Chains A and B, each alone.
Chain A
Amino acid sequence: MHLAIAIASLATACVLLFVQPRWWLPEAISAHARAYDAQLHVTLWVIGVLFAAAQGLLAFAVFRFRDRGQTPSATAGNHRLELVWTSVTAVAFLGLAIAGQGIWAAVHLQGAPNPLRVEVLAKQFAWSYRYAGPDGVFSAVEVKSIDDAGGNPFGVVDAKSDDIVTALLHVPAGRAVELRLKSRDVIHNFFVRELRIKQDVVPGMTIPLRFQAEKTGRYEIPCSELCGLGHHQMRSALVVMGAGEFEAWLREQQSR
């Protein structure tokens, strides 16, 4: 009796917390982020129904079959029933798996033409970004030329290169962006909550990551793969600007 009440009330509390959440996802600022939220919404509904049904059945059985001197039934199985719930869960679970592929494919398997390319370099415990500059070509780099203090973390060889190197990621709204993620030392992780994208940055690899932000603003980038004692301080930001504003920003960077 007490146990039935405990299970039922805790399960109800869980459902209520999700119906009226005080903390939730941040604003979605891209088409992908909105598709993401829709898929999450569907998934939460499915698991919410399954959760309530399973906990409800459990609490009900605990209440209904408490010891009142009855004789326990001799049932030890029911093939038809077992077949039904196995098929129903299989369809629901695999359905979710298939329905969820779209948002993954949009980020990792489909590209937009002519994206703005930005190179991202992670190291213990800072982020740097490199743009190709007016010539549209990334200049050659080498280890010898790396000079963090001198503002050349990528190791651009040509001192007169028109490449632009920054500490914040600036992009124009409404244009596809392709990041090329690289790490210099250990594994880091690039995460923008508002874009609903997250990708490990692995030394020895160049990993592409695509997005198209739509809403201007400044969004935090917290490193999300344990990278050492400064992991929690390895922050950067994504600055989404209007197209004209972005062009002006680029020119200002070049004149430096």
Chain B
Amino acid sequence: MPDHYFITHSNIIRKHAITRDFNIDPNNEIFVNFVTFIKALYKKETISYPKFYKMDNMSKLGFLGTEMLLRDNSFFDRYSKEEIGIIMMNSSSSLDTDLLYNQTIKDKSNYFPSPSLFVYTLPNILIGEICIRHGIKGENAFFIFDRFEPQKILDLVHLLLDEDRAQVCLCGWVEVLEDNFESVLFLVEKEKRMKEFQLKNEYSSFDIENLKLLYQNKK
């Protein structure tokens, strides 16, 4: 391995808690539904990005998680827009939006397919939204797994970082199907660049064990 890699920052959004860099913030609000939840979180985080409202549920969740992940850690000082790789994954692809879109073509007497909904029937639109927001132009890919798979994540991130196809990887599991959802996002950075920017090395190594712990909200 050409360099050591670390999980430097993370953001996990689940129904009952939001975790930033392993600091767990329990959510005591009563859960009504995903739409109410995500709007409340958007407001609470005081993010101003009107395009947020036209996104589908999965993009809203992944977009918001990414905003929370990338703020306050001078990420964009360390990397140019072409050096940032993105790997996203989930289990149900865009099924949540597929079901909504399908409603618009089911009934021939009430037929109203719309391009603004149809475009979200592709999971990688989430990546597109994140890239547009920050001008990120590097390697990007969306994979489908039945569950969070540390070994596959490890392999895929290494393919980008080992050969310098990217200098950093924004990686995440963003799953939404109706009111079941989960967003687990993290940054994998290389030691060399971290040293250049005098980041203190207090981070977890990028390995299977730490990915499992991260997913379980543990350090």
Q: Is A bound to B?
A: no
Name B residues whose Cβ lies closer than 8 Å to a Cβ of A.
none
